[in-house]
A and B are shown apart, each in its own frame.
Chain A
Amino acid sequence: KAGVTQTPRYLIKTRGQQVTLSCSPISGHRSVSWYQQTPGQGLQFLFEYFSETQRNKGNFPGRFSGRQFSNSRSEMNVSTLELGDSALYLCASGPSSTYNEQFFGPGTRLTVL
């Protein structure tokens, strides 16, 4: 069974730009969560989608948004990038919306200059 895939793996943007990251979950998984990982804050929850509906949202500004398609693939968008948005963005999929056993992708390393 193929694992969680994320594209692109690396991205360099400048302040003020916007970016879209993509995540393909494990086949059959309907829950997709997004996390931001930084050395200073660790792993922080962004939001979760289940069957195309946002079920939960973390404490991040509205510049961070996402969506999920009918095939469970998910995208995350960050608008008006700030230097502090530089991080590893991780996507995790699971069969349910209880986070009991999440399978993470390799992440997208975003650098904002």
Chain B
Amino acid sequence: EDQVTQSPEALRLQEGESSSLNCSYTVSGLRGLFWYRQDPGKGPEFLFTLYSAGEEKEKERLKATLTKKESFLHITAPKPEDSATYLCAVQETGGSYIPTFGRGTSLIVHP
């Protein structure tokens, strides 16, 4: 069973059509949850780190929220340039802090 599950796998939106991406996790203790954006042919680009339930972070049209079992990446009034794959990674308490990545959500925003 995957520790980090992202849904949906793919999402197509019209420009301006707001939506949310989900990242659910099953680690016993969460040290941190990370969101990254990855454009085709490039490495992931860091977006946010969330540490505790109830925490929220915003950047332009993106807002990340965290509960005890999942995180949401809300995209408000998306533009075509928001098209990318969004990756979520989870870091467990104790141990090595190695992040476990989800498979990602591929977002396409049509003009």
Q: Which residues of A contact B (CB under 8 A)?
A: 4, 42-45, 48, 55-56, 58, 90-92, 97-107
Partner of A56, one of B87, B96, B102: B96
| Total count of chain B residues near the partner, CB < 8 A | 22
Chain B residues within 8 Å of A55, by CB: 96
Q: Is the pair B43, A99 in contact by a Cβ cutoff of 8 Å?
A: no
Q: Which residues of B contact A (CB under 8 A)?
A: 32, 34, 36, 41-46, 49, 87, 89, 91, 96-104
Chain A residues within 8 Å of B96, by CB: 55-56
Q: Is the pair B49, A101 in contact by a Cβ cutoff of 8 Å?
A: yes
Q: Is the pair A99, B99 in contact by a Cβ cutoff of 8 Å?
A: yes
In the assembled complex, the Cα of A100 lies from the Cα of B104 at a distance in Å of 19
Q: Is the pair A100, B32 in contact by a Cβ cutoff of 8 Å?
A: yes
Q: Is the pair A45, B99 in contact by a Cβ cutoff of 8 Å?
A: yes
